[in-house]
Amino acid sequence: MSTTIGDGLATLAIAAGIVGYLYVKHQSRQKRLEIIHEERMAAMEKGIPLPEFPLEPAQEGPHDANVMPILGMVLLTLSIGAMIVLYLNLPVESHGFWVSPLPIAFMGAGLIGFHFLNGKRGR
């Protein structure tokens, strides 16, 4: 395979975008911590008690119980479709590659199975 300069530039642009995103996220977090620190110092100088709170907001997971089976169905159907397309369109000497999306299909089936096996008994 031969790569072109355009491929390298696209890769560098993606890497620069990711690094830029992480930098902006870090800067906004630092600015928020500085503002919280200044507010706390001003409150301490005035003698106002402030309640303790975590510096990082709690990361909450998805509350919707339908997220896992929907994601499982999407992964399963997309990978089965990709397997069908690969089987029908690949040349005869490389027909064995139609199974390459199989791990994604297993992941989708696993998410669907986990959802139904982990379901609440009282429903």
Q: What is the pLDDT of residues 27-44, one digit of tens each?
A: 999 998 898 888 888 888
pTM (two decimals):
0.49
- 89 and 107 in a single domain? The answer is yes
- 55 and 3 in a single domain? The answer is yes
In a domain, 111, yes or no: yes
- How far is the C-alpha of 56 from the C-alpha of 29, rounded, in Å? 9
- How far is the C-alpha of 44 from the C-alpha of 48, rounded, in Å? 6
Task: Give how many domains the chain has, as a whole number.
Answer: 2
Residue 122 pLDDT level (bands cut at 50, 70, 90): very low
Domain of residue 34 covers 1-59
Cα dist from 81 to 5, 84, 89, 104, 107, whole Å: 33, 5, 12, 11, 15
In a domain, 100, yes or no: yes
Inter-residue contact 97 to 90 (CB < 8 Å) = yes
SS3 content of the chain, % helix, strand, coil (to 5): 70, 0, 30
In a domain, 123, yes or no: no
- How far is the C-alpha of 58 from the C-alpha of 54, rounded, in Å? 8
